[in-house]
């Protein structure tokens, strides 16, 4: 027995030494080994990948070449150099399309705007920009946001305040933004935000799809194909998720076609505004074209991911930052109180006035700094079609996979100063008391260049309304002792959620 015990100890020590040797770094950098490259270091740090990458990039002047498995296409050139970002996203935009590899990774999005390049992307962006900026959509946005916050979110928070139960705030915000986005995109309310917290397959399927896509970024393409053939692992999870998403979207399209045959709808639409699916269908009718279900399916799914996940993630991290910085929360409440003297019992219709929301300078600044530290989309990648030399002096060609670590970019002292890791809204306020503009190639949370997010203003409108309504009526207290870390996903969710207690303010 003693001999067996010694063998177990020896094997444990040997395994530990092996892992440390594989992971060992030189001057703080991952060691590149034959065949496996730097993958051992990645696997050891996969649970903390964003902060690990931040540390590496901080020691390498914002650029680093990561060597993956040999001959598998997993090597990447990581950069957060603002000059490189500007060159790739704006100055030489045409040479850095999404490309076929991106479309394979995000195949579930079909031919939608996020996957599209060239003329297809131009026409889709033009159409989306026209519809999102239309007065009918903004009228609809104001009404839907007011109704869902007042009749959905407030009821749930009141119930939680009365019961004294803890709740996962991330789940609350994901349900809220899911309902909002689904209603804005399709015109239908899935009703996921209610006191009984029902399970919604569509929302769960989105979560599973995003997790699977994240692992496509880590593992070589041949491993995805093998999993698909065998029907196992993340690829099987992705297949089931896509099936559920497609079924729900197909049902929505069918219901909308039937609904639009009713003449009474046009009158209601004129009064209350219009959802995007209705607007897309009307656009097709005006051009004497029939909207294929595949086109509508891809459009709906792309818009759903753009609205639901990003805003929900941003709100969750924002309230976490407020819990860590009570002085910021107090200043936001003071600003709201100065703009709305009746604070304490707000009529949500006041937030339909854009001029009022625009005057919430400190709240806007706090949201920006939270987005800087916790960008909803923590990374993105590009690949050039032709050889190019980046402003940093690095040569890239069609075989170079370029990765922007947006999470790391917001924490670089060389970009944001010595207090880069601190949540400090004042950095966004000018001496005149107005919002200080930061170039998009430095603040990449809403993308940059021609692909800058079309829903930026919509997101700020929703977030300001939601934050102001919550802070006016409630105290949100984060439960002590929980571990708050980012999850491994293409969206920066919290791995374990955010447990909070809700109290009514007196």
Per-residue pLDDT of the chain (506 residues; tens, 9 = 90+): 454 455 554 455 445 444 554 444 444 567 767 777 766 777 777 778 888 888 888 888 899 887 766 766 667 888 999 999 999 999 999 999 888 888 888 889 999 888 888 899 999 999 888 888 888 888 888 889 989 998 999 999 999 999 999 999 999 999 999 999 999 999 999 999 998 899 888 888 988 998 888 888 777 788 888 898 888 989 999 999 999 999 999 999 999 998 888 755 444 444 556 889 998 888 887 766 678 899 999 999 999 888 888 899 999 999 999 999 999 999 999 999 888 866 556 667 666 677 788 889 999 999 999 999 999 999 888 889 999 999 999 999 988 889 899 999 999 999 999 999 999 999 999 999 999 999 999 999 999 999 999 889 889 989 999 999 999 889 999 999 999 999 887 889 999 999 999 999 87
pLDDT, residue 200, reads 84
The three-state DSSP-derived secondary structure of 452-474 is: CCCCHHHHHHHHHHHHHHHHHHE
CA distance linking residue 9 with residue 133, whole number of Å: 66
Write down the residue that tokens 């946001």 correspond to: 145
pLDDT, residue 223, reads 87
Domains of the chain: 1-91+395-409 (no CATH), 105-375+415-504 (1.10.630.10)
Residue 56: partners with Cβ closer than 8 Å, 6 or more residues away:
28, 29, 30, 64, 78
Enter the pTM of the model.
0.86
Copy the structure tokens of residue 5.
């015990």
pLDDT, residue 321, reads 97
b/e string for 140-175 if b means 16 or more Cβ within 10 A? bbbbbbbebbeebbbebbeebbeeeeebbbbbbbbb
CA distance linking residue 371 with residue 364, whole number of Å: 11
pLDDT, residue 393, reads 94
CA distance linking residue 289 with residue 274, whole number of Å: 20
From the list 182, 231, 189, 177, the residue with the least C-alpha distance to 463 is 177
Helices (DSSP H) in 261-340: which residue ranges?
264-272, 276-286, 293-304, 310-324, 326-339
């Amino acid at each position: 027995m003693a001999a067996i015990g010694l063998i177990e100890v020896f094997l444990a020590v040997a395994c530990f030494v092996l892992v440390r040797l594989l992971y060992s770094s030189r001057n703080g950098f991952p060691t590149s080994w034959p065949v496996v490259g730097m993958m051992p270091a990645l696997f050891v740090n996969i649970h903390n990948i964003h902060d690990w990458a931040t540390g590496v990039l901080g020691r390498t002047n914002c650029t680093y070449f990561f060597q993956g498995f040999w001959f598998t296409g997993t090597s990447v050139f990581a950069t957060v150099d603002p000059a490189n970002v500007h060159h790739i996203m704006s100055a030489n935009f045409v040479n850095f399309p999404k490309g076929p590899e991106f479309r394979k990774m995000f195949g579930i999005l079909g031919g939608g705007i996020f996957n599209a390049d060239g003329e297809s992307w131009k026409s889709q962006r033009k159409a989306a920009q026209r519809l999102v900026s239309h007065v009918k959509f903004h009228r609809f946005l104001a009404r839907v946001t007011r109704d869902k916050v007042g009749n959905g979110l407030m009821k749930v928070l009141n119930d939680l305040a009365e019961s004294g139960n803890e709740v996962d705030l991330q789940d609350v915000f994901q349900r809220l933004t899911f309902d909002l986005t689904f209603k804005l995109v399709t015109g239908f309310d899935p009703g996921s935000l209610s006191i009984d917290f029902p399970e919604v397959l569509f929302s769960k399927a989105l979560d599973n799809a995003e997790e699977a896509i994240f692992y496509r970024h880590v593992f070589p393409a041949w491993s995805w194909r093998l999993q698909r053939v065998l029907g196992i692992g993340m690829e099987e999870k992705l297949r089931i998720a896509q099936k559920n998403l497609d079924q729900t979207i197909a049902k929505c399209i069918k219901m909308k076609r039937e609904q639009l045959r009713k003449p009474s709808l046009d009158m209601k639409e004129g009064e209350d505004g219009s959802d995007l699916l209705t607007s897309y269908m009307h656009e097709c009718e005006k051009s004497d074209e029939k909207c294929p279900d595949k086109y509508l399916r891809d459009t709906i799914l792309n818009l759903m991911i753009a609205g639901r996940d990003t805003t929900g993630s941003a709100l969750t991290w924002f309230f976490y930052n407020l819990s860590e910085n009570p002085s910021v929360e107090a200043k936001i409440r003071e600003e709201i109180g100065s703009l709305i003297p009746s604070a304490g019992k707000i009529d949500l219709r006041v937030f339909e006035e854009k001029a009022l929301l625009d005057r919430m300078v400190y709240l806007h600044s706090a949201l920006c700094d939270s987005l800087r530290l916790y960008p909803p989309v923590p990374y993105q990648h590009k690949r050039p079609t032709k050889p190019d030399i980046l402003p940093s002096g690095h040569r890239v060609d069609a075989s170079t996979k370029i990765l922007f670590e947006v999470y790391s970019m917001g924490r670089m002292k060389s970009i944001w100063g010595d207090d880069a890791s601190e949540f400090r809204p004042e950095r966004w306020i000018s001496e005149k008391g107005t919002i200080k503009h930061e170039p998009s190639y430095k603040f990449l949370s809403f993308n940059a260049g021609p692909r800058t997010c079309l829903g930026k203003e919509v997101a700020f409108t929703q977030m300001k309304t939601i934050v102001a309504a919550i802070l006016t009526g409630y105290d949100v207290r984060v439960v002590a002792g929980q571990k708050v870390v980012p999850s491994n996903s293409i969206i920066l969710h919290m791995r374990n959620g955010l447990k909070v207690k809700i109290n009514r303010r007196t």
